[in-house]
Amino acid sequence: MPISFSSSASNQRTNNTLEDVLYRIRLMKKEKCLQQSWLKMIVDSGNQLSEMIENSLDTFKMEENTYVFTPSPCNLADIFNKLARDLDSQIRKKNISLEVFIDGRQMLPEGTFWVSGEFRLLQNLFGNLLKNAIEASPEDEKVRVDFDPQQKDMFLIRINNKGVVPEILRDRFFDRYATHGKKSGTGLGTYSAKLIAKTHRGNIRFETDETSGTTLFVLLPSSPEPEPDKEHETDSFSLKKVDFTLQGTILMAEDNPINQQVIKGLMEDHDILLDIAENGQEVVQIQNLLKYDLILMDMEMPVMDGSEAIQIIRKQYAHDELPILSLTAHDLALSEINQPKIIINDVISKPIQPDHFFKILRKYLKSVPVTQTLNNSEPEKRVLANDILNLDRALQQLMGKRHLLENIMQSFKKEYFNAPEAIKKLIENKQFQSAQRKIHTIKGLAGTIGAPMLQKAAQDLENAITDRMLPGVNQLISSFRQNLDPVIETIEKLLPGSPKESVEPSLSNDLAEQLTLLEKNLDRFYELLLDSDSEANDACDLCYSALSYLTQNTDDRLLLDQLKQNMKNYLFDDAATILKTLTQKLGLELQTH
């Protein structure tokens, strides 16, 4: 007997009410930091309920043969990458190894396996099957997924776990409400999976025994890989003709110098005046003095984040008076941000994809027709493309600008070679927000330089820090280190002749006058460190030149380098200890109030 609903209108009202509740909770999350974990739980439950309502409606339509099926090419690799992230806590809890193979080879994060179907339905199908496999698997075992292109028009997907289906359940495994031994089981997961496979003109079956465990076989129609956008198609060393130059003024809010470098490099062929602010507070101050054509706003910054800055700016300028584009490495829906009123005009995801980036910018800036060909100056120097660094892909993202990529890699190596230790220290000091911000930045930059395995490891670590999954975080930091080290080593091999900075610091004013100013600034710097105040970074900049001069060619220079590194990693307690030791060695007196 099919599931029945009293009224489609009532279901629509339920969805509308639920969306309103979820929106209001998201607003509350911004107001009360201490309540964030509870509110996140409520939002997740609400989203889950909303999905259940939508899936129930789909199930009803498929049962009644009224579902309108609109297939398109779907990459199953993308679906399983997302499912692996979503189910990560369950996988770690049982210490299970999830392995995915394409035609017998382990799948890479950028792998592809194209079938014909609806992405949302396929995500639901395999979400149910993979979750069941993880729940049924014994601890410390493997769950293995194989994508097998057996036939030209049909592909086979196998999901194996070492658990065995109870005999009482085997004859009705795909029946509605068939469940056994699961307190929260609804018995609808495999039933809906069978409906979805049938809707896709496919099939699903299973085998189970004590030796091999349980294997699910899903047969789906294959699909050719979608044709690339010929208009923007490019190779690594020669970009096709660029038919426009952008003109205008942009204020960019971005606290990471490497991300600043990426965007400045992409803009260098255009007639753009680009000003940079390092936090939301600076953006608010600058835009009060100068009028820009648009603002690029990073959403996660120290001092004041992007969301707060946008709220302040929107009190002065509406969305059609001053466009604001969000820069983020998160999956943010524009419609979700702009409720109940429009505050952001567009979202640009990190790592930045040039085609999408300039397509968005052209909506808000003047575009002047021009014809030119951008060629790389060293075509014979074919770059390395492998699992560690796919530099062909990185060059595509940077529009073939080899010099820009080399500068970014050099900066990445210099800034993040010791990132695992810094992140571990931040977590030990319970500075979770700083740790999350740091790994979030590295995740985006890993995509920019073409390091897919490092990007995946950073994503896993960021998820664990965000969800406070602390018991498994050391293992994830270790995995992050194992993926970071080969990237750093590869960069060093590619850039062996990188020039090292050897500029000796100098003082612009009289030494006595400079030391007097240093002592005054040191006291404030030290107090801000003790208070863990983010303004300590500004105070550090005021002191650094003089301290550099005093420590040149001495062993104390190592202390200053450690101080600077701790400031970059927001380790203010450690920085305060080093500053106190350094000033004592230099004969300077710290006075606190």
What is the reported pTM? Answer: 0.41
Per the DSSP assignment, residues forming a β-bridge with 158 are: 146, 217
Predicted confidence at residue 565, as pLDDT, reads 79
Nearest to 258 by CA among 500, 491, 444: 444
Predicted confidence at residue 331, as pLDDT, reads 61
Integer Cα distance of 337 and 319 in angstroms: 13
- Per-residue HEC secondary structure of 370-439 comes to EEEEEECCCCCCCCCECCCCEHHHHHHHCCCCHHHHHHHHHHHHHHHCCHHHHHHHHHHCCCHHHHHHHH
Predicted confidence at residue 466, as pLDDT, reads 82
Integer Cα distance of 442 and 64 in angstroms: 49
Contact assessment for residue 73 and residue 220, using Cβ atoms and an 8 Å cutoff: no
Question: Tokens 């600077």 sit at which residue?
Answer: 564
Predicted confidence at residue 6, as pLDDT, reads 39
Predicted confidence at residue 23, as pLDDT, reads 57
CA angle 191, 193, 194 (to 5 degrees): 70
Long-range contacts of 425-431 (CB under 8 A, 24+ apart): 425/569, 425/571, 425/574, 426/569, 426/570, 426/571, 427/465, 427/470, 427/473, 429/571, 429/573, 431/570, 431/571
Give Cα separations from 434 to 221, 304, 425, 567, 572 (angstroms). 46, 13, 11, 12, 11
Predicted confidence at residue 231, as pLDDT, reads 41
Predicted confidence at residue 469, as pLDDT, reads 74
Tokens, residue 360: 């968005």
319-328 per-residue burial string, b: 16 or more CB within 10 A, e: under 16: eeebbbbbbb
Per-residue pLDDT of the chain (593 residues; tens, 9 = 90+): 343 333 344 444 445 556 656 555 555 544 444 455 555 556 556 656 666 777 778 888 888 888 888 888 888 988 898 888 778 878 888 888 899 999 888 887 677 889 999 888 898 899 889 998 999 999 989 999 999 886 778 999 999 999 998 888 888 888 876 665 555 555 677 888 899 999 999 999 999 999 999 999 999 999 888 765 444 344 333 344 456 788 888 999 988 887 888 888 888 878 888 888 888 888 888 888 778 889 999 888 878 888 889 989 988 888 888 999 988 876 666 666 666 666 888 888 877 888 888 888 988 888 877 644 434 444 333 344 456 788 777 777 777 778 788 888 888 888 888 888 888 888 888 888 888 888 888 888 888 888 888 888 888 888 888 877 776 787 788 888 888 988 888 888 777 554 444 344 444 444 556 566 676 788 888 888 888 777 787 788 778 777 776 776 666 777 887 888 778 777 888 888 888 888 877 777 777 65
- The DSSP code for 297 is E
List, as one string, the DSSP characters of 128-165.
HHHHHHHHHSPTT-EEEEEEE--SSSEEEEEEEES---
Query: What amino acid is encoded at 346 in this protein?
Result: D
Query: What amino acid is encoded at 124 in this protein?
Result: N
Integer Cα distance of 351 and 441 in angstroms: 10
Decide the pairing of beta strands 72-75 and 105-106: unpaired
Integer Cα distance of 498 and 492 in angstroms: 8
